[in-house]
Amino acid sequence: MAILTPRETDGYIHFDEEECIAAGKSLAEKYQSADPFPHIVMDDFLPPDFLKGLLGGFPDTSGHDYFDRAQERLKYQFRPSEIPGRSLRNLVMELNSPAILRFLQAMTGIDGLIADPYYMGGGLHETRTGGHLGVHADFNIHPKLKVERRLNLLVYLNDEWPDEFGGHLELWDQKMEKCCHRVLPTIGRAVVFNTSLDSYHGQPEPLASPPERGRRSIATYYYTAHEDGIAALPKRTTVFKVRPDSPDKEDIKVRMNHFLRDWLPPAVYRMTRKSAPAD
């Protein structure tokens, strides 16, 4: 039985708020006590047969831009406006609904969650064969809303996905000494985790699926506002980390930018950014 049951009214997919709250409360202890940081892996978060019925609406990657550098290869992102399937687009947007916010608040204990209407970094993701996403901690401040990122929700869409295809999500400890959990991205499985400056995660091993099979998921991110604003928070972009005894490459450019931002007076920092060469 699925954790949440999608309802349909006049062709619109939605969730029941009371069911969401009850489900969140039932998972709260497991989530909040997890190591190396609060998280949960949920099989059958949504019914696999329901998700299989939406896969025909997944966008084609042909001709679409993708991330391609040492830290992330062959990864595509599609915002709701780029999703051709009406029902799949509906589901992605409904994961920002009050019902899902109430589920997440009840489970995580984080009140006042804010969904991202811009889907900054979120929406649908697909990584093609040979692609990867290095272990990292996510950017922490939404550039438009000026609120703090607190949670990631990942829902996997990969039917008949054997272990040898790879694509495992890895959760690492705060010292980057060991991988604590590896999650196979099989259909209906979902992962929620707290996003902090040391909640390290990624899909660092190159995908080994056949060329016609990409690693697909829905990704939605959630934020909270601070009563005193975000001025006191260190501003961070995505920070990639190097695994021990691995060929991973450190993102020196980002590291230097954070160092300058933290230690230079704001006016001097802005001058350095103006004089920096374009990417």
Peptide bond into 36 cis (omega under 30): yes
Calculate ∠ Cα 215-217-221, nearest 5°.
140
What average pLDDT does this structure show over 142-169?
97
3-state secondary structure of 231: coil
| DSSP 8-class letter at 234 | P
* Phi, psi angles (nearest 5°) of residue 167: 80, 15
The number of distinct structural domains making up the chain is 1
The answer to whether position 243 is within a domain reads: no
The answer to whether position 150 is within a domain reads: yes
60-64, 159-163, 206-210, 261-265: the lowest-pLDDT one = 261-265
The answer to whether position 72 is within a domain reads: yes
The answer to whether position 249 is within a domain reads: no
The answer to whether position 154 is within a domain reads: yes
pLDDT in the model for residue 237 = 77
232 — pLDDT class (breaks 50, 70, 90): low
269 — pLDDT class (breaks 50, 70, 90): low
> What stretches of 143-214 adopt beta strand conformation (E)?
148-156, 169-172, 179-183, 190-194, 201-203
CA distance 137 to 162: 27
What average pLDDT does this structure show over 203-223?
98
The answer to whether position 269 is within a domain reads: no
Residues 6+ apart with CB under 8 A from 97: 14, 15, 115
What average pLDDT does this structure show over 111-132?
97
Maximum Cα–Cα distance for the chain, whole Å?
Answer: 57
Q: Where residue 151 sits, what CATH number does that domain have? A: 2.60.120.620
| Residue 6 in this model has a pLDDT that exceeds 80 | yes
The answer to whether position 31 is within a domain reads: yes
Q: Which residue has the tokens 């010292």?
A: 175
Query: What is the span of the domain harbouring residue 39?
Result: 7-234
| Residue 167 in this model has a pLDDT that exceeds 90 | yes
| Residue 260 in this model has a pLDDT that exceeds 80 | no
* Phi, psi angles (nearest 5°) of residue 241: -120, 155
Q: Which residues are 115's β-sheet partners?
A: 222
184-198, 225-239, 240-254: the lowest-pLDDT one = 225-239
Helix-helix angle 252-263:266-275, to 10 degrees: 150
The answer to whether position 24 is within a domain reads: yes
